[in-house]
Amino acid sequence: MKKIYVSADPVQCGWLESLLQASNIECLVRNRFLGGAIGELPINEAWPEIWVVNDNDEARAESVIADALAPLLVTEDWRCAGCQEWVEGQFGSCWQCGHVRESNPAA
Ligand SMILES: [Zn+2]
């Protein structure tokens, strides 16, 4: 059993789970229904987690997830940490202040 992905979004986790299953990778989601506990638990302990059952599937599962998320990462708008301006996803730095996009701009 290996944890391969954590997301704040249970819908996204369910979507990734179905993609993994479609690739014949046995997996499960933990914390899927704990959303209501956020605020009582440390936030990252309440997030849904995707686990692969067989360690041998880990690399394949990670590539399925990376392929699935790549287009989203490119197109999702992000908020500049320098000036708080919203920037379109295809840009790697802020149009207003030039701040370079950070790896997890949504956090
Ligand atoms: Zn900026």
d(CA 36, CA 40): 9
Per-residue pLDDT for 52 more than 80?
A: yes
pLDDT tens per residue across span 62-75: 999 998 888 766 66
Give the residue among 58, 30, 57 at the shortest CA–CA distance from 46.
30
- State the total domains in the chain: 1
Q: Looking at the domain assignment, is residue 30 inside a domain?
A: yes
In a domain, 25, yes or no: yes
Cα separation, 46 vs 41, in Å, equals 6
CATH number at residue 30: 3.30.70
Domain range for 47 is: 2-76
Distance 64 CA to ligand 1 centre (A): 32
pTM, whole model, 2 decimals? 0.60
Ligand 1 centroid to 103 CA: how many Å? 15
Inside any domain, residue 95: no
Residue 76 alpha carbon to ligand 1 centre in Å = 16
Residue the block writes with tokens 């067989």:
54
Please identify every residue whose CB atom is under 5 Å from ligand 1, which is an ion. Answer: 80, 82-83, 85, 94, 96-97, 99
> Cα 93 to the chain's mean position, in Å?
21
Q: Tell me the per-residue pLDDT of 73-87, one tens digit each, with 9 for 90 and over.
A: 666 788 999 999 999
